[in-house]
Structure 1
Amino acid sequence: MTHDAHHATTRDDMATMVALLDAAEQRPEAVTLRQHSYDLLHLRAGDTVIDVGAGTGRAVAELASRGVTAIGVDVSEAMVSLGRSRYPGADLRAGSAEQLPLGDGEAAGYRADKVFHELSDPAAALVEARRVLRPGGRIVLLGQDWDTIVIDADDGMLTRRIVQARADSVRRPRVARAYRTLLLDAGFDQVSMEVRTGVFTGEFMLPMLTGFAHAAVRAAAITPEQADTWLAEQRDRAAADRLLLALPIFVAAGTGPGRG
């Protein structure tokens, strides 16, 4: 689940964020990436898998459709409640990545999508992941690198300041590029790493770009006037089908020790 979704405090904020997430998650490349992450888990029918940062539960529902027991955990009780209403019967629970509501060795698979950049201690979360995974269980981590987001704009230097300011507002903006190291340090084997780049061109990205610009103003990286000018350009680009944002998504997978 994204940083912004965790900080959506009002009903309108939540509705806006969920609408943005829905639009992004329904794009063909996003669907393909999710399915790829499920394949990397190497699950068999009847296996238990935990989806950490489950949000509204889309991945939990999709995993369950594969014949496995899917459990979703999210730190936001509001998102858990929303997920239960959207996917009746889905097993969604409130909890944190550092204290998962599962027993030792209960899961065959662990998946976390856009979560680790918000954690204060990713290494501790991986200790917890190993606890809930059975011997030889699989783990898959997905997440964006906030420092390498690409936005097409006329003023490259201003855009660079906006992207950097937004990245600096995230607790761990570069953790995704460290997934491989984190998994190896946590004792996982057969660790793989790849990067998939999502390219977004629709006007539905304007709320995200607005958030980027406002974060830069709050950080005093740009002036309000610069933000207004930059956003006006992005709105014009969207209207003319010229908006482009490229988001690198790192995907790492590994196998827990003690296969058998």
Structure 2
Amino acid sequence: MPTLSRTMTVMSTLLPLLDAFDDLPQVCDLREHTYQGLGDTVVDVGCGGGRAVGELAARGIRAIGVDVSPTMIEIAAERWPAGEFHVGDATALPLDDGSVIGYRADKVLHALAEPEAAVVEARRVLADNGRAVLVGQDWDTFIIDSDDPGLIRRLVHARADGMPHPRIARRYRNLLLDNGFVDVTVEVHTIVWTGETGLPLLANIGGEGAWLDDQAARARDDRLFVAVPFFLASGTRAG
């Protein structure tokens, strides 16, 4: 029971944060961009609450969501009944070889112990000439305006260092090239917050305290500035 309780607590705090992020117009545009060229059968790895699966399924695509969390899968299936959802690991997907045309992993690889194994698995499940899309932030590159940049730097680095692979996004291109993908491209899309909608993100980075109170005051005065570059890498599975 302690494990279940801890899982539910994490979901209760993480899911609202993800939902608020996914609702941002800039993020909606980025998500839409990731759908391009994925084909008519797509797996969304680390699907979380299932929004991408639901949006793809609404377009007549067979969209398969996979997440390691049974709780997330239960929530996703309830929210987006047109999608197909499975509990599974990014490095051992419950799919046959070459069974999908598109592979999408959004804000996932930084949390994995073996991100390269997930890219190897992407190649396995993709059909020849299938498309893989990796999206995520480099956790060392959060830009936060503050009168104490040294403190911000320490908070950002401490948050990053608590993850298995916080800087994996800067390696997306090489991961694809090294594991059987061609025509690899990389784009950078920067998400900017200038108001109170950025405060939950900041709390997630450094917790509460005087520094967050300062940022809240900036938000009230329309002086908050937070920018996070998101890296989007895509490639084609070589035959």
TM-score, normalising length from structure 2?
A: 0.93
Equivalence for 2:199: 206
- Whether the aligned pair in 1 keeps the contact of 2:57 and 2:82 (CA below 8 Å) is no
Does residue 117 of structure 1 match 2:110?
Answer: yes
Hey, what does 2:174 align to over in structure 1? 181
Shift of 1:130: 1.0
Q: How does 1:48-59 map to 2 (within 5 A)?
A: 48-59=41-52
| Percent identity of paired positions between Structure 1 and Structure 2 | 53
Match of 2:217 in 1: 236
Alignment of structure 1 residues 1-260 onto 2, 5 Å: 9=6, 11=8, 13-41=10-38, 43=39, 47-214=40-207, 228-258=209-239
In structure 1, distance between residues paired with 2:81 and 2:198: 29
Q: Distance in 2 between matches of 1:207 and 1:85?
A: 25
Q: Unmatched 5+ residue regions in structure 1?
A: 1-7, 215-226
SS in 2 for 1:146: coil
Q: Which residue type is aligned with residue 99 of structure 1?
A: A
> What letter matches 1:82 in structure 2?
I
CA contact (8 A) 2:184 2:236 kept: yes
Q: By how many angstroms is 1:228 displaced?
A: 2.3
Q: Is the 8 A contact 2:110 2:167 kept in 1?
A: yes
CA distance in 1, matches of 2:205, 2:23: 22
TM superposition shift of 1:12: 5.2
Cα deviation, 1:31-65, whole Å, max 9, x if unaligned, reads 11011100142x2xxx2110001001100011112
The one-letter amino acid of 2:35's match is Y
Distance 1:178 1:13 in 2: 28
Partner SS for 1:104:
coil
1:216-258 per-residue CA deviation (whole Å, 9 max, x = no partner) reads xxxxxxxxxxx62212201211222222211110000000011
Aligned partners of 1:212 and 1:69: how far apart in 2?
A: 35
Q: Please, what TM-score do these two structures have when normalized by structure 1?
A: 0.86
Please say if residues 20 and 204 of structure 1, whose CA atoms lie closer than 8 Å, have aligned partners that are also in contact: no
Moved over 6 A (4+): none
Match of 1:147, SS? coil
Residues 151-209 of structure 1, C-alpha deviations (whole Å, 9 max, x = no match): 11111111111111111111111100100000000010000001100001232332332
User: What is the alpha-carbon root mean square deviation over aligned residues?
Assistant: 1.6
* Partner SS state of residue 51, structure 1: strand
Distance 1:235 1:13 in 2: 24
Aligned residue pairs: how many? Answer: 235
SS in 1 for 2:190: strand
Q: CA deviation at 1:67?
A: 1.9
* Shift of residue 15, structure 1, vs aligned partner: 3.0
